[in-house]
Amino acid sequence: MSVRRLLTVIACSIIIALLASSSFNWALAQKPYEGVRITVLVHSGHQAVPWYKYAKYIKERYGIELVVVEAPPEELFTKALLGIRSKPAKYDIIQFNSAFVADLAPYLLPLDDYIIKTPGEGGVAFGDILPCFREYQDMWGGKIYALTIDGDIFFLYYRADLFENPIERKAFKAKYGHDLEPPKTWGEFLEIAEFFTRKKGEKLCGQTLQRDFYGAAFQLKPPRVFYWYLFVYWPYIAAATKGEPHYFDPKTMKPLISTEAAIKALEVLKKATKYMPPGVLGWEWDETFTAFMKEGCVAMTIHWPDEGKRAPELAPLPIPNPPKPKLGVTLPPGVIGPDGKLYRYTMIDAAWVAGIAKNSAHPDAAWAVLSFICSPRWDLERVMAPTDFMPDTGHDPYRYSHIYSPRFLTLKPWFKVMIKAYEEAALHGFPLLKMPGAYEYLEKLATYVHAYLSGQIPDAKGALDKATAEWEKITNRFGRESQRRAYLAMWGLGA
């Protein structure tokens, strides 16, 4: 073999080896967007962390300079709307609450073609996103306008160590005539809440309580009190309508929040407050999490995924020799309808998503950034956080590959208790309102729900009649027909 031929073979071998190496990729080495600047508007604080963390990787792979602009959540919508309406857009990518998609959609780039034709960094694997998030966070009117950033969803958490205690199980069956199990219905929830509400000095698990203990605790301070009312409202409405729960009549936009089923739901919520700590009508996130997780003085709560992600923080029961703390997780309770079917839902919160401005000067580069941040390889780091690689982000799981990830479950094995609950929630999610005026509707609902719970309005019907009147005013102001079209689009339907 000639020297020249030998050198050619050696050179070819080196090239083949480089191409086979995981550290070298010819396509990426080209940096297709070298010198392009992409500006992203994001939620300030810990939710901005991943964008900074991944900026250098995006620069290395694509040549893109990522500029991160932070804004507090109360300012995000206004800044985003103003920024993406300009030509060219001030922000190429915006993080926004999915409740505002109706207002933002005219200025957002539909992502369907990008997802199909240019999958980006390993593909965003849209079908891997749990159905509830795909349908109720990322889509509007049948098109994809965003990718999920944070999988906000709710679960019923309960003290499994308490529910499994033989003394308590025997006493419960003797009193109610059936076994103590996680509640499937709101009737069962009220029984369990009543059963476990006890005073300091009484017995729990055969031992003397060192502080008052409560059957449940919810986050009932306005304006977010409407969340906990809706957990009861949806199954009652569903049972009354044979599985077609709604906020409005889809044909007329007449509110359904003062129907007989809606009134019953509010009355049930008020009954539940009898078994909650004093002052609960003024509780927000911190008080609810602390009472259930840090103080161990509550048997059940309904909350975001935080408790499941932080299960090792569950405090022992307030008795001298408590069993090892054990967290249980399931869906919020439901209602059995006249047809004998159990109607049960959890909330798909109007949570954080990200989309691309239609007026972006560099939409392909913006897609490269968004698909990188939201690809299964990289977004797993965000939802597992905090880890050695990624500081806290405040992002919750939203993919099948998240909840089944061997790495996630090895790093945080306690998360295994959440898998079944996520599987069920994926198919039983119910969306928060996503239409113009969404938060105005919900804040009015919160005002009158809280007025009834606090005794300012003596009857549930009176409170919900007032809320209904306010909803009608909002609908008329926006325009009944345009609101009807928006409401249908929220469900992925045309007019």
Q: Is residue 457 part of a domain?
A: no
Quote the CA–CA distance of 8 and 14 in Å, as a whole number.
10
In angstroms, how far is CA 339 from the centroid of its own chain? 30
Residue 188 shares a structural domain with residue 134: no
Which residues have C-beta within 8 Å of that of residue 395, sequence separation ≥ 6?
Answer: 47, 50, 149, 150, 151, 352, 379, 382, 383, 385
Would strands 203-204 and 155-159 be described as parallel, antiparallel, or unpaired? unpaired
Quote the CA–CA distance of 26 and 116 in Å, as a whole number.
23
Residue 102 shares a structural domain with residue 216: no
Amino acid at 369: V
The pair of three-digit structure tokens given for residue 401, joined into one six-digit string = 């590959």
Q: Is residue 173 part of a domain?
A: yes
Quote the CA–CA distance of 80 and 76 in Å, as a whole number.
6
Q: Taking a C-beta distance cutoff of 8 angstroms, is the pair 149, 352 a contact?
A: yes
pLDDT at 429: 92
> How many CA atoms lie within 13 Å of 306's alpha carbon, on the beta-carbon side?
15
Whether residue 110 has a cis bond before it, omega within 30° of 0: no
User: Model-level pTM?
Assistant: 0.91
Residues of the domain holding 425: 32-151+350-430
Quote the CA–CA distance of 51 and 58 in Å, as a whole number.
10
Q: Is residue 442 part of a domain?
A: no
Quote the CA–CA distance of 450 and 403 in Å, as a whole number.
35
Whether residue 88 has a cis bond before it, omega within 30° of 0: yes
Residue 138 shares a structural domain with residue 273: no
Cα 447-452-457 angle, rounded to 5 deg: 100
Let me know if 286 is exposed, middle or buried by CB neighbors in 10 A (0-12, 13-18, 19+). exposed
Residue 295 shares a structural domain with residue 165: yes
Quote the CA–CA distance of 330 and 309 in Å, as a whole number.
14
What distances in angstroms separate CA 108 from CA 84, 155, 342, one per listed residue? 8, 32, 39
Residue 73 shares a structural domain with residue 210: no
Quote the CA–CA distance of 335 and 234 in Å, as a whole number.
9
Q: Is residue 488 part of a domain?
A: no
Q: Taking a C-beta distance cutoff of 8 angstroms, is the pair 314, 327 a contact?
A: yes
The pair of three-digit structure tokens given for residue 50, joined into one six-digit string = 């991943």
- Phi then psi for residue 185, to 5 deg, are -125, 165
Residue 102 shares a structural domain with residue 211: no
CATH code for the domain of 390? 3.40.190.10
Q: Is residue 306 part of a domain?
A: yes
Residue 252 shares a structural domain with residue 340: yes
Q: Residue holding tokens 């073609």?
A: 113
Q: Taking a C-beta distance cutoff of 8 angstroms, is the pair 98, 351 a contact?
A: yes
Residue 190 shares a structural domain with residue 292: yes
**Alpha carbon distance, N-terminus to C-terminus of the chain:** 75
Domain boundary among 311, 330, 348: 348
- Phi then psi for residue 354, to 5 deg, are -140, 140
pLDDT at 461: 98
Q: What is the mean pLDDT of each run of 10 residues along the chain (495 residues)?
A: 38 35 46 96 97 97 97 95 97 95 95 83 84 94 95 96 98 98 98 98 98 98 96 97 94 98 98 98 98 98 96 98 98 97 93 96 97 94 94 95 96 95 92 93 97 98 98 98 96 75
pLDDT at 119: 58
Residue 137 shares a structural domain with residue 48: yes
Domain boundary among 328, 348, 368: 348
Domain boundary among 430, 454, 474: 430
Quote the CA–CA distance of 408 and 414 in Å, as a whole number.
10
Q: Is residue 44 part of a domain?
A: yes
Q: Is residue 436 part of a domain?
A: no
Residue 288 shares a structural domain with residue 219: yes
Q: Is residue 109 part of a domain?
A: yes
pLDDT at 29: 57
Residue 201 shares a structural domain with residue 295: yes
Neighbours of 312 (CB within 10 A): 11
Quote the CA–CA distance of 205 and 183 in Å, as a whole number.
20
In angstroms, how far is CA 307 from the centroid of its own chain? 13
Amino acid at 100: F
Residue 387 shares a structural domain with residue 321: no
pLDDT at 349: 86
The pair of three-digit structure tokens given for residue 222, joined into one six-digit string = 């306005």
Number of compact structural domains in the chain: 2
